[in-house]
Structure 1
């Protein structure tokens, strides 16, 4: 996958928040939370909700990983 959500999980830890809190507050589905955990694609709407709720920049939620050629 060319994207990684490690910054999101680090941001949660830094702010003393849990995945369950985020899921409940933003009304995210279990499928969306699983996609984040597995590094799969999620919608821009979800990324926007996360940034808004956490009051952070996109780099605090997701990072791009360059593929080796």
Structure 2
């Protein structure tokens, strides 16, 4: 199983935001952004902050891909 955050990066482009904007507005750390970039798991609290900032649901920013 692989976690894909491709939807998050597409959503940021649609909202004309970059990763630094997301970090600042969502109140998350650079470490979280790095983990997202590597497709690693992050806490539900961090995902909640991102969803709240972007006014979306969790399925709008991530998905599980099964081999």
TM-score normalised to structure 1 length: 0.88
The answer for the alignment partner of 1:2 in structure 2 is: 2
- When the two chains are superposed, the root-mean-square deviation of aligned CA atoms in Å is 1.1
Unpaired runs of 5+ residues, structure 2, are none
The structural deviation recorded for 1:27 is 2.3
The answer for the alignment partner of 2:60 in structure 1 is: 60
The answer for the alignment partner of 1:11 in structure 2 is: 11
Unpaired runs of 5+ residues, structure 1, are none
Structure 1 segments, 4+ long, off by >2 Å, are none
1:37-59: CA deviations, max 9, x gaps?
11011000011111111111111
Name the CA distance, whole Å, in 1 between partners of 2:23 and 2:2.
24
State the number of aligned residues: 67
Larger Rg: 1
TM-score normalised to structure 2 length: 0.91
1:22-43: CA deviations, max 9, x gaps?
1111221111110001101100
